């Protein structure tokens, strides 16, 4: 069975320099406003000044101040105002939740083989806090690899394997994709962790996780289980198409609806 979904939303014109990785450079004139933003995780509604984007009700944003790093949803927009700027914190990033394209149902996830439908750079800000350009992350690598068909080669403890398996069963691998030889996943734990790896002919190498553990972790193990399941589904249902594109992305059903459907007043989907 196939699934098609399409929505429209508003995008920013200019990028906030410090948070360039989270913002789409799509032409749309910014419009000054004071917006009410709700933070579901804190049960709070706070007002922020905006002069970078043309914000609409339902948009997902990041702000500065004490709630910096928390994703909020715009609930009210006021264009008629007079304020003292020193009294207000600002909206610093607008998250792109506009999704359109073709999906297939694959168990707990939706799968697409179209690079333009749900690329990693679009999904990342849904879960991962925007980082400043001067935040430096250094990664190393070695020559070790293991087969996706034998995850015991990861050399992880039974306890970590069990915890990773629980993450996998609980659909905490909210997003995973393979583009050519490069793989990327987001695993939702106490926070969202990014897993990266190289993939060639069912061999995994250069596996890293943003939990910065010095050994293979539960997030990586969960991602490998989800990768194996998704590739098995692809092999059964659309192997030829995948072989041509050398790309797939899988997103959990809950994540897709939470970001691409909830809060939208227009758009539609067919099933």
The residues spanned by each domain of the chain are 25-95, 100-260
Q: How far is CA 41 from CA 67, 72, 191, 192, in A?
A: 11, 9, 12, 14
Query: Rounded to 5 degrees, what angle do the CA atoms 88, 92, 98 make?
Result: 130
Say if residues 196 and 120 touch (Cβ distance below 8 Å). no
Among 61, 82, 78, 79, CA closest to 70: 61
The Cα–Cα gap between 47 and 271 comes to 38
pTM to 2 decimals? 0.84
For the stretch 130-153, pLDDT in tens is: 776 556 566 666 678 999 999 999
Whole-number percent of the chain with pLDDT over 70 = 82
Between these two residues, 265 and 171, which has the higher pLDDT value?
171
- Strands across the sheet containing 203-209: 145-147, 203-209, 192-200, 182-188, 173-179, 247-252, 109-112, 100-106, 2-6, 268-270
Q: What is the pLDDT of residues 13-57, one digit of tens each?
A: 333 334 343 444 444 789 999 999 999 888 899 999 999 999 999
Across-strand partners of 35? 48, 77
**Of 16-25, 110-119, 208-217, 237-246, minimum mean pLDDT range:** 16-25
* Nearest Cα to Cα of residue 63 among 28, 19, 12: 19
């Amino acid at each position: 069975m196939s699934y098609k979904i399409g929505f429209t939303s508003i995008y920013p014109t200019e990028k906030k320099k410090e948070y360039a990785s989270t913002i789409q450079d799509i032409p749309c004139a910014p419009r000054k406003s004071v917006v009410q933003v709700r933070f579901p995780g804190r049960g709070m509604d706070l007002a922020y000044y905006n002069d970078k984007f043309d914000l609409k009700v339902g948009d997902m944003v990041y702000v500065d101040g004490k709630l910096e790093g928390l994703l909020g949803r715009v609930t009210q927009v006021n264009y008629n105002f007079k304020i003292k700027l020193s009294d207000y914190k600002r909206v610093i990033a607008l998250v792109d939740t506009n999704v359109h394209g073709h999906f297939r149902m694959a168990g707990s996830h939706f799968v697409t083989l179209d690079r333009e439908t749900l690329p990693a750079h679009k999904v990342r800000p849904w879960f991962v806090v925007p980082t400043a350009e001067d935040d430096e992350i250094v990664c190393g690598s070695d020559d070790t690899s293991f087969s996706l068909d034998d995850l015991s080669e990861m050399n992880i403890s039974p306890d970590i394997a069990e915890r990773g398996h629980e993450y996998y069963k609980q659909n905490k691998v909210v997003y995973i994709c393979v583009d050519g030889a490069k793989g990327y996943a987001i695993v939702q734990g106490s926070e969202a962790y990014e897993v990266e790896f190289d993939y060639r002919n069912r061999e995994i190498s250069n596996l890293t996780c943003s939990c910065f553990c010095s050994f293979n972790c539960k997030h990586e193990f969960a991602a490998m289980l989800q990768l194996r399941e998704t590739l098995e589904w692809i092999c059964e249902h659309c192997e030829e198409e995948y072989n041509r594109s050398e790309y797939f992305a899988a997103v959990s059903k809950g994540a897709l609806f939470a970001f691409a459907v909830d809060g939208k007043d227009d758009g539609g989907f067919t099933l």
